[in-house]
Structure 1
Amino acid sequence: MGDKANNFPPLPRFIPLKPCFYQDFNEDIPDQHRTMAKRLYYLWMLNSITLAVNLIGCLAWTIGGGGFMNFGLAVVWLLLFTPCSYVCWFRPIYKAFKTDSSFNFMAFFFTFIAQLVLSIIQAVGIPGWGVCGWVATILFFGTNIGSAVVMLIPTLMFTAVAVLSFIALTKVHSFYRGSGGSLSKAQEEWTTGAWKNPHVQQAAQNAAMGAAQGAMMQSEPQYSATPNYSYDNQM
């Protein structure tokens, strides 16, 4: 597992940088978690695209007379929070689903709650923060309608990200609690160092996949290979 070449992000060859992570949903994530893991990945992509669209909205804001500071902060939002959100909350949940790690689940909950709060703040749109949220957009309709219409697009996208983030958080939390996870289990992993031991992680992944396969086999009807004949009525 450790000798595989990193493949994410898939950078063009002319960029003198190499991928930093290995990511393969079909190989790393058990079947029962794969759909949820992919949906969280799509949520990260939506958040990143929203930050890019917000940059365009803030450019329209600046051109319409809103000041250059918002555009400058929008650049910071895009360049800083796109990689940070991937590293701080998506990678932990990816590894949590991969190895059934309570520590990584807790790391995800801690950072994703911060992500949710941030998404709500972005959707609100405090003027001067470099985000085209509802307050900033509605107020700017009185200054420049054209720019405000452009600003409305990232505003709606920030709102969608906030709503989807809340739904994702509740679903992951419900799954984690239903699977028997707890804070004490995460603390035990931290104390023993199991969360960073690749051998323990591999064993946990194999156990999780084995349990999933066992559950699938139990759900299938069982048939006896030997026919069963009754002789009660043959005498």
Structure 2
Amino acid sequence: MSGLDSNPFVDPVDVNPFQDASITQATSRAAAANAGEFNPFSASEMETHTGKTIPLSAASSQPAILQTSVEQSAQANAASGQADLLRQQEELEKKAAELERKERELRNSSSSSSGGAGRTPNAGENNWPPLPSFSPVKPCFYQDFEVDIPEEYRRICKRMYYLWMFHSATLFLNVLACLAYFTASADYGVDFGLSILWFVLFTPMSFVCWYRPVYKAFRSDSSFSFFFFFFVFFFQVAVYIIQTVGIPSGWIASISMIGSNLPVAVVMMVVAGFFTVNAVLAVILLKMVHSKYRRTGASFSKAQHEFSHGVLTNQTVQTAASSAAASAAQGAFGRSQGN
């Protein structure tokens, strides 16, 4: 029966090869030897492990986003510095151009004051109006926008010159319109004569009285020239408005001629349109010149100083004053002797 109770799937002999007495004794001796020899705090072990250790500070590094921000700030600083240098360079170039312009102006004025045969051509010589060399009448004024007028005022000064040219053309067309008006009715001969007088008289007077002052004002920042221009040009604008309304050949007169003579009315309407354009442009340019004048630093006190200084230092005025004083003294001396 004992043979039937045994497990057929179990080895009849449970043998462990590592439980042999000789093997167990050898392994126990080796373990003891190794345990006695190992010292984790020995100098050799410390050197070995110390050489393999990596410090935390050496392994750490800055984030990539920080490097990018630093580079961008450096680039922004470089760009702003370059922009400042360019702006300073532009300012220096403007100052150099202004100094060069003033130097040429002084050279031209000195050469023109010397006069005679020693004056060189195109060095401050009068060049306006542009007359041919064989003409007995010589130019009366010197005009050069590129030399005399600074760049910031050059455009407005040229526009004033074009307005004067348009003004002269309008006065000439007014003569033709008044002539047509006179042919339609003999009662308007006075208007035709006044139109001729206006063209002959007001064309040069407008050049001298309001165009040349504004040219001189922009050329030399003259406060007196600015005030003289404003005073005269204000009345010029008023005259434009009167001529536009119908004195003598504006919109009123041209509309009244539609029923009696249509061709004459059309000619007069064209001239009335020219006067209207003159009035509108004059108002616009007056505002533009005033805005430029406020930037120049001109003032009424400076205008008074320039006027008094110019009058006192003018040789003609001094001569006239001395002559008048001498005449008054002689008259007083003669009366005293007579008494």
Of residues 177-186 and 116-125 in structure 1, the stretch that sits farther from structure 2 once superposed is: 177-186
3-state SS of the aligned residue for 2:130?
coil
Q: Which has the higher contact order (CA 8 A, sep 6+)?
A: 1
Amino acid at match of 1:150: V
Asked if residue 91 in structure 1 is aligned to residue 208 in structure 2, the reply is no
| Paired residues for 1:24-35 under 5 Å | 24-35=144-155
Asked if residue 140 in structure 1 is aligned to residue 247 in structure 2, the reply is no
Asked if residue 69 in structure 1 is aligned to residue 190 in structure 2, the reply is yes
1:119/1:162 contact within 8 Å kept: yes
Q: Say if 1:189 and 1:30 are closer, same or farther in 2 by CA, change over 3 A.
A: same
Structure 1's consecutive aligned runs of 4 or more residues displaced over 6 angstroms after TM superposition are 194-197
Displacement of 1:192: 2.5
Q: Which structure: greater helix fraction?
A: 2
CA distance in 1 between partners of 2:133 and 2:249 (Å): 34
Amino acid at match of 1:145: L
Identify the match of residue 279 of structure 2 among 162, 183, 193.
162
CA distance in 2 between partners of 1:20 and 1:195 (Å): 25
Asked if residue 17 in structure 1 is aligned to residue 137 in structure 2, the reply is yes
- Percent identity, aligned pairs only, is 51
TM-score (norm 1): 0.77
3-state SS of the aligned residue for 1:193?
helix
Structure 2 gaps of 5+ residues are: 1-107, 113-123, 315-339
1:104/1:195 contact within 8 Å kept: no
Displacement of 1:58: 1.0
Amino acid at match of 1:136: A
3-state SS of the aligned residue for 2:213?
helix
Structure 1 gaps of 5+ residues are: 198-235
Displacement of 1:37: 0.4
Give 2:80's aligned residue: none
Q: Say if 1:67 and 1:112 are closer, same or farther in 2 by CA, change over 3 A.
A: same
Asked if residue 174 in structure 1 is aligned to residue 291 in structure 2, the reply is yes
CA distance in 1 between partners of 2:306 and 2:178 (Å): 44
CA distance in 2 between partners of 1:113 and 1:81 (Å): 15
Give the superposed CA RMSD.
Answer: 1.9
3-state SS of the aligned residue for 1:7?
coil
Asked if residue 112 in structure 1 is aligned to residue 233 in structure 2, the reply is yes
3-state SS of the aligned residue for 2:249?
coil
Asked if residue 60 in structure 1 is aligned to residue 60 in structure 2, the reply is no
Of residues 133-142 and 99-108 in structure 1, the stretch that sits farther from structure 2 once superposed is: 133-142
Give 2:159's aligned residue: 39
CA distance in 2 between partners of 1:196 and 1:110 (Å): 24
Q: Say if 1:150 and 1:137 are closer, same or farther in 2 by CA, change over 3 A.
A: same
Q: Say if 1:114 and 1:184 are closer, same or farther in 2 by CA, change over 3 A.
A: same
Q: Say if 1:55 and 1:195 are closer, same or farther in 2 by CA, change over 3 A.
A: farther
Query: Any idea what the Cα deviations from partners look like across 1:157-206, whole Å, max 9, x if unmatched?
Result: 00000010011111111221233222122112112229988xxxxxxxxx
Paired residues, number: 193
Give 2:171's aligned residue: 51
Of residues 141-150 and 176-185 in structure 1, the stretch that sits farther from structure 2 once superposed is: 176-185
